[in-house]
Structure 1
Amino acid sequence: MSSGTEGRFHIVDVSSLTSVHRVMPRRAMLRTDDGVRIEAVYEPSEASVTDSAVTGTAVVVAHGFTGSADRPAVRRAARAFAERGASVVTFSFRGHGGSGGLSTVGDREVLDLSAAVRWARELGHTRVATVGFSMGGSVALRHAALERGADARADAVASVSAPARWYYRGTAPMRRLHWVVTRPAGRLVGRYGFRTRIERRAWDPVPLSPVEAVPLIAPTPLLVVHGDRDPYFPLDHPRMLAGAGDAELWLERGMGHAENAADGELLARLGDWLTRA
């Protein structure tokens, strides 16, 4: 196995993926367009690796706030998508896990997702789908609307448990989250309690909201998924998102919030949609 620096990425030599160890995960540190180092993991589907090329769909998974590439719920989602025949890229957003930088809670994280999608294409995948959970769901929507580079665009997008609009405080969990993000004591709790390093400066300017992003995504296939027992965002959020553009909407009975609440049956259906949409 060899490694080296190629453009924005420090990556494992793609030729190693066709060896006897071809289904082993590969770790890398990616560099975003604004210079932040992002940890990422690539898990090739055994069916996607031939003697001469990497083929098939790669699914890039964007976790929720306070998550990371190594959290159990993210690993469970990655395994479920791999079982549906996809290769999978997971990564930690800035300020999370082993990545550098500070969390901007959905703003500059679009650059992190772009870096992960580029890496999947560098590894040989011509079709890349993105799926995001909660904050990651809002990032997936904004990435699909804003990214113009052919090497970093998604071919299909799924957003799970995402907010439709910013600054929502209508539920107790969201009021607690705003305290964590906006108060010095809250940011200390984020750093030491949730291992999430949060930018102290407020957004300036305020980024494009998820619901404003949706009309800009077509003709890319878009799926919006939300649980009817989500304690963070009530059902008006997914309905606003789906109603803002050309989107398929799944309202899941009994489901709570994001990757922690996604059961095996839902992840299998998501995997099928991401590989076939």
Structure 2
Amino acid sequence: MMGTPPWVAGLGDPPIAHAMAEMRPAIDALGAASAAVMGIYGSGGGDAQKKADGSPVTEADLESHRTVSRALAATGHAILSEEGPPAALGAGETAWIVDPLDGTADFVSRTGEFTIMAGLVRSGRPVLGVIAQPAAQAIFVAQDGAGSYRGHGGSWERLRAGPERGAPECRAVCSRNHLSDVDRAVLARLGVAETVQVGSSIKACRIAANEADIYVTTTDRMKQWDTCASWCVVTEAGGRMTDALGGELEYGAGSVAHRHGIIASCGGRIHDLAVGECRAALG
């Protein structure tokens, strides 16, 4: 397994007084996976194949999965990974939910907008989220009750989602590769100030960092590994993440699918307005 790259190792630990024991192993695991992924990215490799469900997968997805899974296995917790075998998690189980390469299409098209994510769930609730953005040499870490942080350039920065804004002042982010006509219509009815297409969970990270205010997708193809780490990063920054109908997201036991889309926001009235528009659009 490749070692933790200097841009991760040089950060040290986030400034959290009572960090969970799993935090540093997760940071190091995603750092090592970032090095592996960027090795493939820089070599020009990573041609996509189609999985059974039609979604793309590359050698980078698989190598990241192997790297993260080997590292996190030492924590003793179960691992549910997009590229791993199906895992039935118990309702009260502590488990990792991992997306080894979020934004595979962006990896293939070389936009740099891909991430690696690991979230730790206890009794159905995410309590730790780590997101690495390898091409930007940035890592995001959030712990339940302890805040959300971005590590970049050798230091950690506390993240706080933006203050409540009216829709005409809101900055929306939406999918680069999966933006539907329904999503476009919802954003148009909200009347947001601007809409920028962005790849992967970088959308959630921008909301946590007060670089965007709202993200809406009405797709029924989102899975637990697409949102688990992001949920921590957004909510610990003071934002909010629900399904598109306003329901709480479920993790662990049961289906891995989020059947009713996703809304992530800085919170406040814009989130409620987006829920209302999605309910109207989805019937």
Q: TM exceeds 0.5?
A: no
Q: TM-score, normalised by structure 2?
A: 0.28
